[in-house]
Amino acid sequence: MRRFWRGAIATALGALLIASGGTIAAAAEAGPPDLPFDPHEYGDRQWVGMPSHTQCAADGTGSNELVISFAETWTGPTEIEIKATSSISDSAADSEVIWEETAKIEPGEWDSFTVPIEDGGVRIWIDEAGLNYNGNIGSECQSAPVQPDRDGNTIEIPDNDDLQYYVAPRSVNGEAVQGKWGTTTFSGFYAGEQLLEEFATPVTGEIAIPEEGLRVFATGKYGVKMQFSWTDATVSDWEFDYETSPETPQTPGTPTQDGNTVTIPESQSFTYEDASGAVLSAGKVSMTGDLVVIAVPNEDIEIAKGAVTQWSFTFNAKPTATPPPTTPPTGAGPSSTDLTAATRGYTQAPTEAAAGDPITVTVGDMFAGEEVNIIVFSTPRDLGTFMVSEKGTVLVTMPDDLEPGSHRIAIYELSGEVIGWDPIVVTPRAGPPSETHTASESLVDSGVAVPIGTVAMAALLLAAGIGAFLVEHRRDRETEA
């Protein structure tokens, strides 16, 4: 029986939110036929999970499987009230509920429930002792990715408002190109550690396959990664080889610019010329002014549909050095436009809190040990960087001067990618700051809420205080003697 690590489960199975940590064991021979693992044989924790996407009917209805599992050590209630609402609902009020069920699950057991979906998505609400999922689990209607059709050295990218397709050559300047995923979204194409920003825009229609070959990645809306079921992996990326037979329409390789140098690709099917007709040999060409490069097909070579055969490069009077490898861009900083239905994720914040109060925010156990940035909206306000606890939570204090009313708590990766967000109603501060949370409670139960330097200083002061007390106590005893 082999074990899946926590990150692999989060990536491969989609919207799995583990209540308090642990590793799930994949049991090929022990698990039931409809799941690739045995949910109650993974350790001493409990969890609730649901695939993040559903293939729905045209009217936005469908269904998906919700799984609840208790370990042998579970001491909480065995009857669990489950409610489901539309994905746009902010509460489980009776008027919002579209489905409800009472789950009866004993310690060491698990159960699955087919949850109906309406209005394009569903959110799950569970509010029991030790098991709180107030709308931070759900599934959205999503079209399944479709492999592009191919005609010779041209592919046709489907035009679907529900899908986004990204393409890039399989190599750039001889270096292999790879597509990379973030936690929940497509990060982009990379050559080594260098992000290729020129391939960061979704495409549709006819795309020519270059001589290097072509990589294609499909995502959901907003670039999200798709997962539709517990059992079947979602294929969302493809590779296309370049066909070199004379009968097949050909695509010229793309020249690239670095400062005032243009690299001309090697080709057996095309000759590269400048605007005057002078032949440009394969390799690096130093620019002395603006340069136009034209790919001229050799005899008996047909150009593929959609192929680009001419490029213009601008001479830089003061060329800048090639920038070092970068990580994905973080943009202009947190913005309310980041907080969409697609980025809501599985973050859970209290429904209501007073200004100045500490609150526990659930990020997800798959982020345990990672640093995250917490922002409160509507006007973005940075609450700081926090370490996610083993239980997938952080403890953060609401600002004393936060204006009462409706706000949103947003969790960001340090790279700037949104992990999730949840609405919260802030009430006026009623009294002095709460003293119910100690530093140790914050660190153990809810994530790092006290700066590490502060804790270290407190420990040093405590040690110094104990030392001073022992010295003074010894002097008192010597005086008495």
Instruction: Share the mean pLDDT of the chain.
Output: 77
pLDDT band of 25, cuts 50, 70, 90: very low
- The per-residue pLDDT for 169 is 94
Nearest to 67 by CA among 91, 44, 94, 35: 35
Percent of the chain surpassing pLDDT 90: 27
CATH class of residue range 2-141: mainly beta
- The per-residue pLDDT for 235 is 87
255-264 pLDDT tens trace:
888 889 999 9
- The per-residue pLDDT for 216 is 97
Q: Is 309 exposed, middle or buried (0-12, 13-18, 19+ CB in 10 A)?
A: middle
Per-domain residue ranges of the chain: 2-141, 149-240, 256-313, 336-450, 451-481
Helix (H, G, I), strand (E, B) or coil at 372: strand
- The per-residue pLDDT for 54 is 92
Greatest mean pLDDT range, 17-21, 291-295, 448-452, 457-461: 291-295
Q: Which two tokens stand for residue 189?
A: 């194409």
Out of 48-62, 337-351, 426-440, pick the least confident. 426-440
Domain spanning 336-450: CATH 2.60.40.10: yes
According to DSSP H, which parts of 201-348 are helical?
none
Strand order in the sheet with 418-427: 352-354, 418-427, 405-413, 371-377, 381-387
- The per-residue pLDDT for 317 is 78
Gap between the Cα atoms of 134 and 362, Å rounded: 10
pLDDT band of 438, cuts 50, 70, 90: very low
- The per-residue pLDDT for 239 is 95
- The per-residue pLDDT for 109 is 84
CA 42 to chain centre: 24
297 contact partners, CB below 8 Å, separation of at least 6: 250, 252, 269, 270, 303, 309
What secondary structure does DSSP assign to 121-143, as a single string?
Answer: EEEEEEEETTEEEEEEEEEEE-P
pLDDT band of 386, cuts 50, 70, 90: very high
Helix (H) or strand (E) holding 476: helix 452-480
- Quote the radius of gyration of the chain (alpha carbons, Å): 28
- The per-residue pLDDT for 40 is 54
Same CATH fold assignment for domains 2-141 and 336-450: yes
Q: Are strands 352-354 and 418-427 parallel, antiparallel or unpaired?
A: parallel
C-beta separation of 250 from 194 below 8 A: no
pLDDT band of 167, cuts 50, 70, 90: very high
What Cα–Cα distance (Å) separates residue 308 from each residue in 208, 256, 263?
Answer: 8, 13, 16
Q: Is the pLDDT of residue 156 over 90?
A: yes
The pTM assigned to this predicted structure is: 0.54
Out of 145-159, 205-219, 226-240, 338-352, pick the least confident. 338-352
Strand order in the sheet with 283-286: 256-258, 261-264, 283-286
Q: Could you say which DSSP state residue 199 is in?
A: G
269 contact partners, CB below 8 Å, separation of at least 6: 211, 244, 250, 252, 297, 298, 301
- The per-residue pLDDT for 296 is 93
Mean pLDDT over residues 341-360, rounded? 81
Out of 362-366, 413-417, 455-459, pick the least confident. 455-459
What Cα–Cα distance (Å) separates residue 266 from each residue in 26, 174, 263, 282?
Answer: 48, 11, 10, 5
Q: Is the pLDDT of residue 381 over 80?
A: yes
198-257 pLDDT tens trace:
898 999 999 999 889 999 999 988 788 888 888 777 889 999 998 877 567 888 888 888
What Cα–Cα distance (Å) separates residue 305 from each residue in 44, 109, 297?
Answer: 58, 58, 13
Q: Is 90 exposed, middle or buried (0-12, 13-18, 19+ CB in 10 A)?
A: middle
- The per-residue pLDDT for 336 is 79
Q: Is the pLDDT of residue 14 over 80?
A: no
C-beta separation of 304 from 251 below 8 A: yes
- The per-residue pLDDT for 258 is 86
Q: Is the pLDDT of residue 101 over 80?
A: yes
Gap between the Cα atoms of 76 and 107, Å rounded: 9
- The per-residue pLDDT for 290 is 93
Mean pLDDT over residues 51-63, rounded? 89
Mean pLDDT over residues 405-421, rounded? 88
Mean pLDDT over residues 316-340, rounded? 61
Helix (H, G, I), strand (E, B) or coil at 8: helix
What secondary structure does DSSP assign to 388-446, as a single string?
Answer: PPTTSEEEEEPPTTPPSEEEEEEEEETTS-EEEEEEEEEE---SSPP----HHHHHHHS
